[in-house]
Amino acid sequence: MDGGTALAPVEREESLTEKVYRSLRGALTGGRLAPGQRLVHRTLAAELNVSPTPVREALLRLVSEAALELDARGIAWVPRLELPRYREIMELRVELEGRAVARATELATFTDVARLRDLHAGVAEGRRTGNAAQVLRENERFHFALLELARMPVLARVVESLWLQAGPTISLLFRPGTSAVPGAHPHMDLLAAMAARDPAAARQAMERDLRAHGALIEAALERGGG
Amino acid sequence: MDGGTALAPVEREESLTEKVYRSLRGALTGGRLAPGQRLVHRTLAAELNVSPTPVREALLRLVSEAALELDARGIAWVPRLELPRYREIMELRVELEGRAVARATELATFTDVARLRDLHAGVAEGRRTGNAAQVLRENERFHFALLELARMPVLARVVESLWLQAGPTISLLFRPGTSAVPGAHPHMDLLAAMAARDPAAARQAMERDLRAHGALIEAALERGGG
DNA sequence: ATATCGCATTTGCTATAGCAAACAACAAGG
DNA sequence: CCTTGTTGTTTGCTATAGCAAATGCGATAT
């Protein structure tokens, strides 16, 4: 019985808690849960056809990641992001994702950069067709793939958490039409810098990318969007 | 009925989940839970005289904060910190706590700095008497008070999470005697810089402080402590 | 019309129960 | 002595039940 050495280890199928968590996470970053929305665990459980227990666990997990908050009564809800807090999140993202992209530039192979180029194509297509949801979704994939390349798991986890905190507000306020920044998309500069093995330039491109997006959201927040 | 306006709002007493969470958190940073230790939720519940549910919730919360991990079977355990990951955590702490102390220096009043001085006295006392647990505990209070002064809640939360990830390993390996760095304690330089309203100097002092501690742990990890 | 009281409902929190998979220990066989 | 099979135990996961506090609503009184 040794033909088995070629077999991959069986994947333990994920728990219900995990499934609910992923579903909620996707809803948060995908803009299907708006700031202010309340999430009553029993109600959600009924909708998802599971018992309240795994739903409650998933909600508490999101609370511990600051993606949700509990009101005075203990009911989970999507927090409204005030401008100062949004700015703080963006400052941290600039620093941390900047670091990550510099590191990724040192480590990335030609193939890695090519893959990133493919991912950016999705973003570009969304921009052309004015599909905000697609832009956000593909942009997220691009950034997370980049984070992966940096081989900094602790940092990556922090950025994911920041992403999740800002996600609902960004989804609510982002409109791709508005972001017609002159010149090439910062992602293109970033990819060029990576191909040229220039970590500092890559970092600067990342910073421009984040600040360009960030400025749009800040403007909307100032108009009273939060 | 307006005599009530002077009353503080009644504090909703914390849930059992919260209590268990705090207890475990303290055990992790206080060195009462060593890397490798397994935490079986039913057993723990029996020891704490509560039902398994809140214990399970507290454990899952710590898992989501990367303070604990789940093994293949789903049992929570205190992860062993490999050197690269420890280094990554320290790099992030240097950046983030450095940022925080620079900001705190801009915002802190004379009274704030005096309070920090008091907190450092606890650290100094622990050093004099060779009480490792006291040094770690008071050092934590000092750093968190500093974070509070920076008014950067998102950053503070991230640092707390990093602290928790490194806590068990630090507690395991830290010995105050070893850390007889020549010259004044970096905290003293830091406090002087804050009093002088010099954010850059404060940041540098923080970096020296973290790297001095960090070097001790790294040395112990290299000797095979993890 | 407004305020107040009371009751039914909602809802988070904790405890308990049952299941299934993994594990451990021990017995039987080679 | 080592392997194999069996059986009892451990343990995470999910569902369910009951409690208590908060809430909401309607009735009643002023």
| pLDDT value at residue B181 | 60
Nucleotide with minimal C1' distance from the CA of B40 is D11
Question: What was the pLDDT predicted at B1?
Answer: 41
Instruction: Give me the residue label for tokens 């355990």.
Output: B77
Q: What is the pLDDT of residue A4?
A: 39
How far is residue B178 CA from its own chain's centroid? 20
Residues in chain B: 226
* Chain B touched by A161 (CB under 8 Å): yes
User: CB–CB of A23/A39 below 8 Å?
Assistant: no
Which residues 38-67 on chain A approach chain B with CB closer than 8 angstroms? 56-57, 60-61, 64-66
* Residue numbers in B near A154 (CB within 8 A): 66, 85, 88-89, 92, 162, 165
pTM of the model as a whole: 0.90
Task: Say if B155 is an interface residue toward chain A (CB within 8 Å).
Answer: yes
Contact in structure between A67 and A165 (CB atoms under 8 Å): yes
Q: Please tell me which residue of chain B has the smallest CA distance to A64.
A: B61
Give CA–CA dist B210/B191, Å, rounded: 15
Q: Is the pLDDT of residue B200 over 80?
A: yes
Nearest by Cα to A136 from A168, A104, A182? A168
pLDDT of A5 over the 50 cut: no
Architecture of domain A83-222 in this structure: Up-down Bundle (1.20)
DSSP of B145-184, one letter per residue? HHHHHTT-HHHHHHHHHHHHHHHHHHHHH--GGGG--SSS
Looking at the predicted structure, is the pLDDT value of residue A17 above 70? Answer: yes
Buried b (16+ CB within 10 A) or exposed e, B39-59: bebeebbeebebeeebbbbbb
Whether residue A18 has pLDDT greater than 60: yes
Band of pLDDT at residue B5, cut at 50, 70 and 90: very low
Say yes or no to pLDDT of A69 above 90.
yes
Ordered by start, the domain boundaries in chain A are 16-77, 83-222
Q: At residue B104, does pLDDT exceed 90? A: yes
Q: Which two tokens stand for residue B139?
A: 């050092």
Residue B4 confidence class, pLDDT cut points 50, 70, 90: very low
Q: According to the model, what pLDDT value does residue A3 have? A: 39
In order, the DSSP letters of A28-57 are HHTTSS-TT-EE-HHHHHHHHTS-HHHHHH
Strand D, nucleotides < 7 Å from a protein CB: these are 10-17, 22-23
- Higher-pLDDT residue of B77, B6: B77
Q: How far, rounded to the nearest angstrom, does the alpha carbon of residue B49 sit from its chain's CA centroid? A: 27
Residue B99 near chain A (CB below 8 Å): yes
| pLDDT band per the 50, 70, 90 thresholds, residue A46 | very high
What integer pLDDT is reported at residue A226 of this predicted model? 55
State the nearest Cα–Cα gap between B12 and chain A, in angstroms: 8
B205 pLDDT more than 80 = yes
Quick check: B44 and B38 in contact, CB under 8 A?
A: no
pLDDT given at position B117:
95
Q: Is the pLDDT of residue B178 over 60?
A: no
Tens digit of each residue's pLDDT (9 = 90 or more) over A136-171? 999 999 999 999 999 999 999 999 999 999 999 998
For residues B171 and B31, is the Cβ–Cβ distance under 8 A?
Answer: yes
Please state, as a whole number, how many other Cβ atoms lie within 10 Å of the Cβ of residue B178: 12
Structurally, what CATH architecture does the domain formed by A16-77 represent? Orthogonal Bundle (1.10)
| CB-closest option in A72, A88, A154 to B155 | A88
At A69 the three-state DSSP class reads strand
pLDDT one-digit tens code per residue, B29-38 = 998 999 999 9
Average pLDDT, integer, range A36-60:
96
Mean confidence (pLDDT) of chain A: 90
Rg of the Cα trace of chain A? 19
* pLDDT of B184 strictly over 90: no
The alpha carbon of residue B195 is apart from the nearest alpha carbon of chain A, in Å, by: 25
Nucleotides of C under 7 A from a protein CB: 10-17, 22-23
